[in-house]
Amino acid sequence: MSATSASSAPKGKVSIQTLRAKKMRKEPIAFLTAYDYPTAVALDRSGIDGILVGDSLGMVVLGYQNTISVTMQEMLHHCRAVARGVSRAHLVGDMPFMSYQVSVAEALRHAGSFLQKGGMDAVKLEGGRDRALAVKAIVSAGIPVMGHLGLTPQSVHQFGGWKIQATTSEAAKTLIEDALILEDAGCYALVLEAIPAEVAQLISNRLAIPIIGIGAGSGCDGQVLVTHDLLGLFDRFTPSFVKKYADLFSQMESAFQEYIADVRDRSFPAPEHANAMDPQALRELMHNISLIESEIEPDENIRLH
Ligand code: KIV
């Protein structure tokens, strides 16, 4: 982290108004994901604008094949851990599959849980015009909603795999309409994932709300990445739009190998890792032990053998 990035970070708690003001000033907005306390603390201290507790949790932390298996319980558990580490960044909880699709009433109740039980400031949900009613109801209850369009991972089976979306003019037009509908419904921001940069740029120019891109080019108002991808902590694959800033998985493996070798050749723990007893207390202990030993009756059975 450079001193500049930390000092240019907003001083107080980042709100949806702060994000809107950043868009108006054309200041890029930086979001990353977090799922645990130490990552949340490090992100908050680094000056990040927003933290998404994404349902990518399912893949990069829990080892599921996709995000579909993630439950409300799992999301809330990780949201609470992140919230405990953050005092400044804006916090968004990702609504998991089937927590908002069944009915508006369920969507509203589950969205409320993210604020009430998860310590989040806002929720995110995937989908376009079909989500407008749910978005309106959640926003009416005072809960900020971030939309998510493009390659929405909960629909991976409908897309037939992890494929870039909105590549034809027809599909791009539908996506732009969806973006406008979500803005009208009350979304305070949108994530655009894996779509052509030109389409994302058109949407960012057209909408007043901040557009946060992931694999959507540099024309968005901000960017988000899955932190495990950026840190090189996810072993299965790295999407082509990710810039890896570290290779922590390899570093973790070599640290583990070094530790195992140290334990096996007894170079760990070294004297500085152990607690020595006060010499006087040790002399007393040895004396007491010898007294105890002299008082112990020889065991009959042992004697017999
Ligand atoms: O779950 C997640 O991390 C996300 C981001 C990829 C935007 O939805």
Closest ligand 1 atom to residue 55 Cα is: 1
Please, which pLDDT band fits residue 209 given cuts at 50, 70 and 90? very high
Pocket test for ligand 1, best of 82, 94, 148, 155 (most atoms within 8 A of CB): 94
Q: How far is CA 85 from the centre of its chain?
A: 12
Question: How many whole angstroms from 291 Cα to the centroid of ligand 1?
Answer: 67
pLDDT tens-digit series, residues 279-289: 999 999 999 99
Residue with tokens 């405990």: 84
Q: Is it the case that residue 299 has pLDDT exceeding 80? A: no
pLDDT-wise least confident of 17-26, 185-194, 234-243, 254-263: 234-243
How is residue 30 written in tokens?
């930086």
Q: pTM here?
A: 0.91
How is residue 248 written in tokens?
């922590």
The burial class, CB within 10 Å (0-12 / 13-18 / 19+), for 67 is: buried
Q: Check if 293 is active-site.
A: no
Average pLDDT, the chain: 94
Closest ligand 1 atom to residue 224 Cα is: 7
Q: What is the DSSP string of 180-219?
A: HHHHHHT-SEEEEES--HHHHHHHHHH-SS-EEEESS-TT
CA angle 253, 84, 250 (to 5 degrees): 10
pLDDT tens-digit series, residues 81-100: 999 999 999 999 999 999 99
Lining ligand 1 with CB less than 6 A are 33, 52, 54-56, 94, 191, 193, 214, 224, 226
Listed in sequence order, the residues at least 6 apart from 11 whose beta carbon sits closer than 8 Å to its beta carbon are: 88
CA distance linking residue 154 with residue 56, whole number of Å: 10
CA distance linking residue 282 with residue 95, whole number of Å: 59
- Please name which of 192, 181, 68, 73 lies closest in space to residue 135, comparing C-alpha atoms: 181
Listed in sequence order, the residues at least 6 apart from 184 whose beta carbon sits closer than 8 Å to its beta carbon are: 132
pLDDT given at position 295 = 78
Q: Once rounded to an integer, what is the mean pLDDT over residues 169-174?
A: 98
Pocket test for ligand 1, best of 53, 165, 224, 227 (most atoms within 8 A of CB): 224
Whether omega for the bond prior to residue 269 falls within 30 degrees of 0, making it cis, is yes
Q: Once rounded to an integer, what is the mean pLDDT over residues 186-194?
A: 98
Q: Once rounded to an integer, what is the mean pLDDT over residues 192-214?
A: 98
Question: How many whole angstroms from 193 Cα to the centroid of ligand 1?
Answer: 9
- Please name which of 49, 122, 47, 39 lies closest in space to residue 84, comparing C-alpha atoms: 39
The protein residue with its alpha carbon nearest to ligand 1, atom 8, reads 54
- Please name which of 196, 187, 285, 291 lies closest in space to residue 241, comparing C-alpha atoms: 196
Contacts by residues 294-298 (CB-CB < 8 Å, ≥ 24 positions apart):
none
Closest ligand 1 atom to residue 212 Cα is: 7
How is residue 222 written in tokens?
């901000």
Catalytic hit among 193, 198, 284, 297: 193
